[in-house]
Structure 1
């Protein structure tokens, strides 16, 4: 089983692409192994089907050069931050043993995002408790707790704790988003319109990225919030 450096949790397929695809690409470029675990198949979404969403997620994963991607099959809208879901997520964390976890925004327009953030946070902590027993492919798993959990910013504006410069990877980020072609604006799509299929939605994503980029004297950026203070030993590590 591939050990990942970074594991990205997403309540829905396309959350990771919209929120932190540039960061994923930048870390893969540096040689880190990155994977995405989608909680649901987005089956309650206005457009598309679970089957098309899985196909689109696979296509996006190739663009992002992921080392792993899987779907938990949780019920869209109805999944909960409870013992059953926590236990399943602990198995995944112990399976991939990431150093860093990126998770949904702590609060957002879609209630699954904040709920997914809370579930990820609790499961990451619980995964380090050795008395919680899990197994994978018939073998007992060892306890594992990621060193850091960061939350990417999604639709609602949240003041970021840090911003990643994604300027060199902007075009690839857009390509990964557009892999979810059932979800975004297409004049030939006859399905009902949705919040994210509005033709102004992707320009909004770009304007947000430009705003974050401007704050760090760059062109494009992605913002994150932290669960605890970040420590540095060298001031020149800061951009």
Structure 2
């Protein structure tokens, strides 16, 4: 069975771990099938190479307990939103049929993160178009909820998920990308491997946790209302 309940898209390996690693760990701990899709291999990153990044991504997937990790192999800094790119994302959504999709927030310093956000929105929309699905020989699929997670920025969250118990796994999954977050001989200094970066991520998660009365939380934003059966 390949279907999943949650499918999280990232422009690069490690994006999802930074912004929603705790959420994914919380759901996999409950036996819920969750997957990540990396649009690129992050081949233009200052440190590491494609084989290394793939090994690190596989290790992070194991730590988070993912049901699958998919790589679409789009070019780093080449998320142009061509019909071919969006169609490939649509095919994956229809194949995995997730109830919930996660994407990077549209306001981020990295252009690939904002491009990924836009592409996911388009792919989620197209995946539900019945006539287009029939043309492609596929069954349409309507995602129930699209949430956006934060990577380099922060902001007001519409939903905060308690990840206190899962925080050690989130940190371990991030640090599985040693080439990106751990400084060392021969590695270029980047915003990611400065001590302040992971401190920022945890500080942000602690602020969100404080807002809901826990130690750590992850914030999500939604562009559409969240349905409730009632208030009590």
TM-score exceeds 0.5? yes
Aligned 8 A contact 1:34 1:66 in 2: yes
Structure (1/2) with the larger helix percentage: 2
Distance in 1 (alpha carbons) for counterparts of 2:37 and 2:54: 12
Quick one: distance in 2 between partners of 1:132 and 1:73? 24
Per-residue CA deviation, residues 100-143 of structure 1 (Å, 9 max, x unaligned), is: 001111110101111101100110010111222489xxx93211
Which residues of 2 match residues 1-239 of structure 1 at below 5 A?
Answer: 1-133=1-133, 140-186=137-183, 188-236=184-232
Number of aligned positions between the proteins: 232
1:80 deviates by 1.4
Per-residue deviation, residues 53-73 of structure 1 (Å, max 9, x unmatched): 111000000000000111100
Under a length normalisation based on structure 2, what TM-score does the superposition of the two structures give? 0.96
CA distance in 2 between partners of 1:127 and 1:83 (Å):
13
Report Cα offsets for 1:195-223 as digits up to 9, x if no partner.
10112211111111101101111110100
Q: Which secondary structure does the structure 1 equivalent of 2:181 belong to?
A: coil
Contact kept in structure 2, 1:91 and 1:134, CA below 8 Å: no
Separation (CA, whole Å) in 2 of partners of 1:189 and 1:200: 19
1:92 and 1:148 map into 2 onto residues whose CA distance is: 16
Normalising by the residue count of structure 1, what TM-score does the alignment of the two structures yield?
0.93
Provide Cα deviations, 1:158-195, integer angstroms capped at 9, x if missing partner.
Answer: 21111111000000100000000000133x33221111
Give RMSD over aligned pairs.
1.5
| C-alpha contact 1:151 1:225 (8 A) present in aligned 2 | yes
Unaligned ranges ≥5, structure 1: none
C-alpha contact 2:127 2:133 (8 A) present in aligned 1: no
Deviates more, 1:77-86 or 1:35-44: 77-86
The DSSP-based 3-state class of the residue aligned with 1:200 is helix
Q: Specify the SS of the correspondent of 2:106.
A: coil
